[in-house]
Structure formats: structure tokens, C-alpha cells
Amino acid sequence: MEVRPALPVDLRQCAALDHQYTTTRVWQIDRRDENGAVTIAFHPVRLPRPMRVRYPRDANRLWEDWRQWDAFFVAEEDGYIRGYAGLLMHAAEGRAWIRDLVVGRRFRRKRTGSRLLQEAMKWAAEQNLNRITVEMQSKNYPMISFSKKHGFVFCGFNEFHYPSQDIALFFTLRL
């Protein structure tokens, strides 16, 4: 498998990947407001049955995203795109932001995501950035587990990040 910068011709295959995922857990938010003090906690909750979840962004907007990203990598094997990663650079913060990390359903759990992440980290280091942050839905327990497995730590959330009103979680790794 080769991980390389994306070309415009790759976008059709990237958009055609199955962006949905299945989860058996979610991170549930617990908010308490007592005596002026706000306490927020997340905890994993097991679902009664597996849930299929839509990806929070429209894959058909990849052309627009590709033009805005500072880096866009694809994982390709035998002429087929297996996955992609889109990154933004926030030089003032010293941070690379992985906005999208998508692996097609039939290529998951075959190190495709890990290879894309390695390339993103390499690119961030070449840009003299000292952190890399990844975002995901609170429902995306597979990505939460993937991020933690690779050393990322929870660093925040935004309840209004996605148009779908899903909560976005942010995990970061110091390079």
C-alpha cells in the first residue's frame, strides 16, 4: 500500500468510499450546573445494539475541501483508494488538524488508517508543527479507540461543530 498526496483524479474514488461506520458505544456527555459551577464529563455508554452512523460531512463536497486543505493524502493499493486524510495547518498554534480520516469499510482494520496517520504526523513534523489534533463525532467510538491507541489524548469538545448537531470530540498528540 502506498500513501501519497492526493490528485484531483482521486477525488471520485474518495467520495465513493463507504464513510459510514458502525458502533456499539458512544461517549455520552454529562453536564451539571450547581451553584454556578459547571462540570462536564464524558463516559462511554454501551448501546443495546450496534448503530450505523452517517459521517458528519458530505463526501460529495470533497472537491471544495481538497482545495482548502493544506495536505490531503490517500492510501492506494492496486489502483484503488482505500482511504484518505485531509489536514489543515494552524501554524500560529503549532498544530496540524486532521479534519477527515476516512477508510473504506472493506479496508478497515488492515492498518490503512494507521498508515494515513503516520503520513499526517510526518507532514506535520516537516511543517515544524508540534501537535496534531483529530476531530470526531462523540458517536464514533471506533475512532476514539483508534486515536487513544495511537497516543492521542482527549483535549476538548464542541456541541455545535457539525451541522447535524452531533458533538465533536477533539484528541491531540504532541509530536
Per-residue pLDDT tens over the stretch 83-107: 999 999 998 889 999 999 999 999 9
Q: Residue 62 above 80 pLDDT?
A: no
Residue 30: inside a domain? no
Q: What is the pLDDT of residue 64?
A: 79
Residue 38: inside a domain? no
Residue 124: inside a domain? yes
Q: What is the CB neighbour count within 10 angstroms for residue 102?
A: 24
Q: What is the CB neighbour count within 10 angstroms for residue 8?
A: 9
Residue 34: inside a domain? no
* Residue 43 neighbours by CB under 8 Å, 6+ apart: 27, 28, 30
How far is 152 from 139, CA to CA, in rounded Å?
Answer: 17
Q: Residue 119 above 80 pLDDT?
A: yes
Residue 68: inside a domain? yes
Residues paired with residue 80 on neighbouring β-strands, in sequence order:
77
Residue 93: inside a domain? yes
Enclosing domain of residue 114: 2-19+51-174
Domain count, the chain: 1
Q: What is the pLDDT of residue 129?
A: 96
Residue 99: inside a domain? yes
pLDDT, tens only, 5-60: 999 999 999 999 999 999 999 999 888 988 889 889 999 999 999 999 988 887 77
* Residue 46 neighbours by CB under 8 Å, 6+ apart: 24, 25
Residue 43: inside a domain? no
- Residue 146 pLDDT class (50, 70, 90 cuts): very high
Supply the CATH number for residue 90's domain: 3.40.630.30
